[in-house]
Amino acid sequence: MPQVGKTGQQKLKESKILVVGAGGLGCAILPYLTASGIENIGIIDGDTIEETNLQRQILYTEKTISQQKVVVAKQQLEALNSNVKIEIYKCYLLGKNALEIFKNYDIIVDATDSIQTRYLINDACIITNKPFVYGSVYRFEGQISVFNYKNGPTYRCLFKNDKANTTNCETVGVLGTTVGLIGMLQANEVIKMILQIGEVLSGQLLVYNALNNTQNCINFNKTETNIIDEAFFTSTYKSHKIEDISFNKTILEKATFIDVRELHETPKIELHNSMQIPLSVLKISVKDLDKNKPYAVFCQSGKRSLEAIKILKEYQFSNVKNISGGALSIQKSIENEEHIY
């Protein structure tokens, strides 16, 4: 194509793109970026593959269940393009690592399902002066935009309330094909920015409905009240450090466990000192908890429990820890050492 040519292909080759999240959106974004000729891609995600992921996370198979997402994604993408250099980060994006990671890339792509993580991505992009390609999916509808592009509007210009309730695919459901469509549109925005062609969705929110094939574009402007400096970033994110611990006999004896999964989810974890409070109702349930007690929080694999701990810390709970690996790791520990529990 004349809009690309050798010059454009060289731009793609030299670009460095970070994708935050290797779930449904990430699995749609990453193959197209890799196939386009982008040879420097970073992927950050601390999750492992679950059976319920497979209807929308097409980089994975039944044989890869329980393996780390970033490891399997790297293998699949390198099989697609042997020239690609994939840098993987086997962790979640946090205040303590965001700035250090972001500085190595040209464009940051949001492939998460966490509102709080998007504010973190946004603020880190403002400090490091990186554009941020946003995508989200809710059941049959998706949204795409580009923030902080050439000093344009940011995520906070459009979504000002960073205390909003968060939902995810496990709790509300999502159509796999809708995730694929939104992910490909995000990849398209990345490629347009690299090639400097077309109209980038800066200051525009594209809303697509997969049920009736309609799309609307909503314009929004930059505000001057969302400027983030590094001191704000440090105090907001780095002071909220979350401690990950493994399930063991000591923590079982000392802490009360909070299961933030939905009531229907399995495996069922029955411990003598546990309670089930789904993430979706945690904010209205904190009044029933004792802030002075130690709590260990878990979900299915570890992502929702991080969100839960952030909420608890906002309500001044100080002695709260995250069970790494979630319910799956707890079940495995119980099965391996059943006699001590």
**Of 234, 263, 291, which marks where a domain is finished?**
234
* 185 pLDDT above the threshold of 50: yes
Closest by alpha carbon to 206, among 227, 225, 190, 185? 185
Q: Give the model's confidence band at 28: pLDDT under 50 very low, under 70 low, under 90 confident, else very high.
A: very high
Do 74 and 188 share a structural domain? yes
Q: What is the number of domains present in the chain?
A: 2
Looking at residue 277, the DSSP 8-state letter turns out to be -
Do 168 and 119 share a structural domain? yes
Do 169 and 72 share a structural domain? yes
Domain hosting 97: range is 5-234
DSSP 303-315: HHHHHHHHHHHHT
Do 187 and 58 share a structural domain? yes
Q: Give the model's confidence band at 340: pLDDT under 50 very low, under 70 low, under 90 confident, else very high.
A: very low
Do 228 and 247 share a structural domain? no
What pLDDT sits at residue 339? 42
Least confident of 22-26, 78-82, 92-96, 117-121: 92-96
* 166 pLDDT above the threshold of 70: no
Q: What is the mean pLDDT of residues 83-110?
A: 93
Do 247 and 142 share a structural domain? no
Helix residue spans in the chain (DSSP H): 5-14, 24-36, 69-80, 98-102, 115-128, 155-158, 169-172, 176-195, 230-237, 249-254, 282-285, 303-314, 326-336
Contact 95, 236 (CB under 8 A): yes
Q: What is the mean pLDDT of residues 158-179?
A: 69
Q: What is the mean pLDDT of residues 301-324?
A: 84
Q: Is 139 helix (H, G, I), strand (E, B) or coil?
A: strand
**Of 189, 215, 234, which marks where a domain is finished?**
234
Contact 296, 257 (CB under 8 A): yes
What pLDDT sits at residue 164? 55
Do 249 and 180 share a structural domain? no
Do 304 and 180 share a structural domain? no
Map tokens 């002071």 to a residue: 239
Do 146 and 50 share a structural domain? yes
Q: What is the mean pLDDT of residues 282-300?
A: 91
* 237 pLDDT above the threshold of 50: yes
**Of 204, 234, 264, which marks where a domain is finished?**
234
Do 181 and 59 share a structural domain? yes
Closest by alpha carbon to 97, among 41, 48, 42? 42
What pLDDT sits at residue 163? 56
Closest by alpha carbon to 115, among 321, 256, 287, 304? 304
Helix residue spans in 129-168 (DSSP H): 155-158
pTM attached to this predicted model:
0.73
**Cα gap 43→71, rounded to integer Å:** 9
Map tokens 């409070």 to a residue: 277
Do 150 and 83 share a structural domain? yes
Q: What separation, in Å, do the N-terminal and C-terminal C-alpha atoms of the chain show?
A: 64
**What pLDDT digit, counting tens, does each position of 244-257 carry?**
788 887 788 889 99
Map tokens 């570890």 to a residue: 302
Round the average pLDDT of the chain to a whole number and report it: 88
CATH value at residue 48:
3.40.50.720
Looking at residue 169, the DSSP 8-state letter turns out to be H
CATH value at residue 330:
3.40.250.10
Q: Is 117 helix (H, G, I), strand (E, B) or coil?
A: helix
Q: Give the model's confidence band at 240: pLDDT under 50 very low, under 70 low, under 90 confident, else very high.
A: low
Please give the structure tokens belonging to residue 254: 């000392």
Do 279 and 205 share a structural domain? no
Q: Give the model's confidence band at 43: pLDDT under 50 very low, under 70 low, under 90 confident, else very high.
A: very high
